[in-house]
Structure 1
Amino acid sequence: MCDKTSIYIHIPFCVKKCVYCDFYSKTDLSLIPGYINALQKEIEKRSGLKDAIDTIYFGGGTPSLLSAKEVETLLQTIGDCFSVASDVEVTFEVNPGTVDLNYLRELKNVGINRLSIGVQSFNDDKLKFLNRIHTAGQARNAIDYAGKAGFDNISMDLIYGIPFETKTAWLKDLKTAVTLMPPHLSCYMLTIEPGTPLHEQLKKGVIRPLGTSDMTVMFKQTSQFLGEAGYDHYEISNFSKGRQNRSKHNSKYWDMIPYYGFGAAAHSYDKKTRSWNYRSIDAYIKDICSGRLPVEDRETLTSRQTMIEMIMLRLRTLEGLDLKKFTTLFCVSFETRFKDILDHVLESSFGSVKDGRFALTLEGRAHLDSIVEAFAEKIL
């Protein structure tokens, strides 16, 4: 790994599955104690005291199904096995239907200093459609509890573009969120992933997704409204009140900084290779108990793969792609290698080149997928 890196901990447990979610998780909560024990062993087996950890992220699933004591145990194990920075950012995802004030106070006391609250919506009909376990009232309570528990670094997740949603309804969600003054907002456009209940509804004709033009309008509406409310649209789905409130952990993904992934289905990256653990709690625990690392597979990244990923990830961000860094890494000028595509993007006002960086405009980010696809086709 490198001098400073990150740790992601996957907690694959949920009370019930949301209709849109394709992340690996199970609803058998009796497996949690054994899973925590296996997590500790994996962390110990992969310990790297030379690596300075400056961000830790508990994702899921639903991490807030763990007890504060279990969270403390995992943080202590990380502290024993890695060099954790004194100013480490420790993010913990919470579902509003699983927390109260006392629990959040306990999380604060064991070392969590940033919360990512999965609100998704303040509309009960929308929450019901998504199969969320919480209500709009519980979402408001969770945000209130977070403040009372002493958290000032709070992110709120919202989702938009569900089949029956109107632009007016989405704007109402945004207005409600802004009145609660979170320093960070993540606003995700609904994608219907294969294998999810929502995808089954689509195949059966039960639902009809919003059209591309409607989704594009809502994407721009989100950026413009939150911009007027004082938020920086620093990544395609993320907004913060100033640079200091950006997600340090997720920013490292977009900067292609190495990270450790612990837990079932977790991925790891060391700049040269990517590996992933078994997408099965049983297989994960079995390998750990047998003294083996639970790695299902790994791949060595080619220069072309790295180039595509760098373009894709950096064009998601406000700052865009550092052209000098690109040239240094790949020994070729970006402007020369992609002159025809770059000229088209600039002429269409989809992007700009300024201060040695190529970044997309809001209009360009609304067409991110097709722009990245054009670059990928040129590379491959």
Structure 2
Amino acid sequence: MKKWYDDLIASRNHTVIFGTTGSGKSTTLQFLINVLEEHYARYGLKPIVLDWCGEHYSKYGIKYPVISYAAVREYLPSVLAASVIGSSGIATAAAVRDLIYEVDTFSRLIECLQLHASRDIGAKAAIDRLKALMYADVLTDVELEPEYYIGVIDLSVIKDVEARRLTMALLLAVIYNFIIDKKLSNVAVFIDEAFTLYRYNLQIVIEALQAVRKYNVKLFLVFQNIPVDYADELLSHNVILHRIPEPAYVELRYRRALPGNAPKLKPGEAYVYIDERAKWVHVKIPPTELRKGSVDIKSTVPTIRVKAVPSIVPVPQQAATQSTPQQPSVKFMTADEVLKMLRKQIKRGEEELEQPIPGEDIEVEVE
């Protein structure tokens, strides 16, 4: 007999997992990872796990978070702008957008941004964010193979929370870029503690990753609570509902008719809603061990030969100031324009694939 997780993984929808601390959502995440790996012949999906707390493991290994410039170049303006919104984020987007196609490495990007830092607070903020990741050995100027990201990417090695949050946002951009370029498919992307991306405009992340379903990619998002601003969108997908706070339940109980005793679930218990079934099922997640202790994963970063890049001669600060009248005017991007740009990229990716994912709908009752 088919289990609830068979129908969940076979569903064409993504899955969101909600639950307070200690409710069992991390155990559920690891359980689903194990199911995919133990039954790869059945599901045909490999996991990519963005592990916020360093709790998860995979037979494909635990990897150090590494971001290649070539893979994330197009998304740097919008992601960096969101990360420094309190320090002139729009100016940051403009400053980075003007440079990303003139340079081919993070090192050169930082070098060129430094020329604008004295008169552009956005450029200075972007430099600070990029340098923090550079010092943490997260950024690389070499290209990585998409297969590097299969397995668990341990974000807990980055101790600074802001730097870790930015790394997660950039990693999502890397994964999305590989998917729409058809370099990565048949994967399930698990985003642990996805609520940390809230300040990076969660709607952009949701819309971007929704498009990957046509590439046979499943998305599993983990939240401590149900963000009210995005509740309708998130609850339109498959849901694994662990214990949630009473106030949140009261506010959201009429959306998709949340089960009445959801606030009283015990650790390891959950209600599962699979869109194709249109009903809630009470389940108990089998006991699943989580990873304990740190692992030395610096050695997982592959050594790749650096590609030659064109030389860029920096303009001295004084000369740049003197030539200011000849500088072209900068067109700043608003948040709506950034979102519109990403939607166009998503639409372009969708148009490349006209055929739906192969597979028949399963008409069985779950346990």
Whether TM-score is above 0.5 comes out as no
TM-score by length of structure 1 reads 0.28
Relative contact order (C-alpha < 8 Å, sep 6+): which is higher? 2
